[in-house]
Amino acid sequence: MRPWGHPHDCVPLATLPSLPTADSLVETRLRYHEEPMRRLLGIVLLGCVSVSAQEPKAQPQPDERYKADILVVVAHPDDEAAVTPYVARALDEHKRIAVVFGTRGSSGSNEAGTEQAAALGAVREIEARNALTTLGIGNVWFLSGKDTASQNVLQSLANWDHGETLEQMVRLVRLTRPEVILTFLPGTFIGEDHGDHQASGVLATEAFDLAGNPAVFPEQISGPMKRLEPFLENLRPWQVKKIYYFPDAEREDIFRGKGPSYSVKEVSKLSNKPYWRMALDAFRAHQTQAKSYLDRIAQMDEAQIEKMATSEDGWGEDQHYVLGKSVVGGTVTGDIFEAITPGAVPFVRPEITPETARPDLSIELGGPWSFYAEFRRAHGLANLPHPEPPEIALQGPGALVIPLWIRNRTAKAQEITISAMLSAGWTAENGTGKFIVAAKQTAAPRVEVNLPAPADKPADKASKKVEPQEVTVRAEANGQVIGEVKLRAELRKRALPQ
């Protein structure tokens, strides 16, 4: 008879001393290599006899040391500074914080030494750990994503091995069992708009919807039942209660009132310093990213630091969040922990917004723009603010590529004419003119626009920057306009690649 073949014959496996964890299974495997099944059978039978006479035993629980109230998910070491002023406040309320970084920041710059690439990533990992240790946060993990210098979230997701890093992200949600996730807003807009920042928000949102689903990565939530199963992780599904985003867009008006705001000027009960000051102290670990800035601060007295940090550098600004979604209710602008009570909640399937009806012949923006439209639909985020028309900042002289979807749902091939309406000095290099889309097919043409050098800033100091220019791409068929897409593009002397 197989010793564990009939559960009613015997005790649950979890009560057997040598079986519950993967580590002990490895040990078990080594020991029983010499003395095969006989000894294992002996322990199991002994277990049957001794446990039946005992009081009921508490089942082992997940490790409390890794339970988080807030899981922060960002892309690069130093990105955590976007939330550390709020985190300092949350520490005052005894919240447990854990942080996930998507990459080690290996394609960044280095002000502190000569190290570059993977070596820089190794240095920046320690900088991030040291920064968070300053705040007493030790539960810090890194996904295996690679720092990707572009504004295109799809490029980052590809370079991060999306499936693999999502699996890692879901594992860390199940391990840390957070009440709330704080992450970058998944969207594209004029601002820092790093594709990696967006990717961290995408993965965190996907994990929010997947970690509670027992059908997703089931090997993570299955425990070993017998020896030679040291790959099963014995985690539990976990439904996070709320997810909040922080945008790094320049134009923040569309995000105002979409979530709570926090002043960071109060003094911490823990450190006797203002919250913003605790965040700045933590940031001092990031020598590779800001050595010259940090050296300047080191020369200042406390009053000078306060004046510079709070009036010029934004450390003292209120922290604004955007509510992504909540499965426990609460108000949009209420406290992040409003309506959250201790304990697990059941898995909630995301609400999918129905697909918008399209005419038989249609045109829409492709690339990251259509991805985000689908993403918001798939994750119940139809109310997530996004600029309309979409916007982007680009380096000039340079190029703007406008990816398109042209859908032909009719039963015959269609001749489509694409034209672009552009500002003076902007020229269409490629992608305009006539082409054929076969019956029932979707084509993915691109219009490429040559961009001039950005105009010098207006002499009038009051208007600080050059306004974005509107680009319109029009599609016509059978002498009729089938649709237009619009994009606002701003030219800069420096910008991340599109």
The residues of the shown chain that bind Zn ion, judged by CB under 5 A, are 76, 79
Q: Which lies closer to Zn ion via its Cβ, residue 109 or residue 463?
A: 109
Q: Which lies closer to Zn ion via its Cβ, residue 123 or residue 216?
A: 123
Residue 185: CB minimum distance to Zn ion, A = 13
Residue 105: CB minimum distance to Zn ion, A = 7
Residue nearest to Zn ion (CB): 76
Residue 197: CB minimum distance to Zn ion, A = 6
Residue 78: CB minimum distance to Zn ion, A = 6
Q: Which lies closer to Zn ion via its Cβ, residue 102 or residue 366?
A: 102
Q: Which lies closer to Zn ion via its Cβ, residue 79 or residue 206?
A: 79
Query: What's the rounded Cα separation, in Å, for the pair 255 and 366?
Result: 24
Q: Do 242 and 296 contact (CB within 8 A), yes or no?
A: no
Residue in the block written with tokens 């007493």: 136
Q: Which lies closer to Zn ion via its Cβ, residue 315 or residue 337?
A: 315
Q: What is the helix (H) or strand (E) element at residue 437, kind and residue range? A: strand 433-437
What is the SS3 assignment for 189?
coil
Q: Do 437 and 497 contact (CB within 8 A), yes or no?
A: no
Residue 75: CB minimum distance to Zn ion, A = 5
Q: Which lies closer to Zn ion via its Cβ, residue 79 or residue 306?
A: 79
**Amino acid, res. 319:** Q
Query: What's the rounded Cα separation, in Å, for the pair 327 and 329?
Result: 6
Residue 106: CB minimum distance to Zn ion, A = 12
Residue 465: CB minimum distance to Zn ion, A = 22
Q: Which lies closer to Zn ion via its Cβ, residue 107 or residue 268?
A: 107
Q: Which lies closer to Zn ion via its Cβ, residue 105 or residue 445?
A: 105
Residue 83: CB minimum distance to Zn ion, A = 12
Crossing angle, helix 275-283 and helix 287-298, to 10 degrees?
120
Cβ atoms within 10 A of the Cβ of 289, count? 21
Written as six digits, the tokens of 46 are: 């002994």
Q: Provide the Cα torsion 353, 357, 358, 359; round to 10°.
A: 180
What distance lies between CA 377 and its chain's CA centroid?
17
Cβ-count burial of 462 within 10 angstroms (0-12 exposed, 13-18 middle, 19+ buried)? exposed
What is the SS3 assignment for 188?
coil
- Beta strands at 97-101 and 140-142: parallel, antiparallel or unpaired: parallel
Q: Do 72 and 100 contact (CB within 8 A), yes or no?
A: yes
The one-character DSSP state at 379 is T
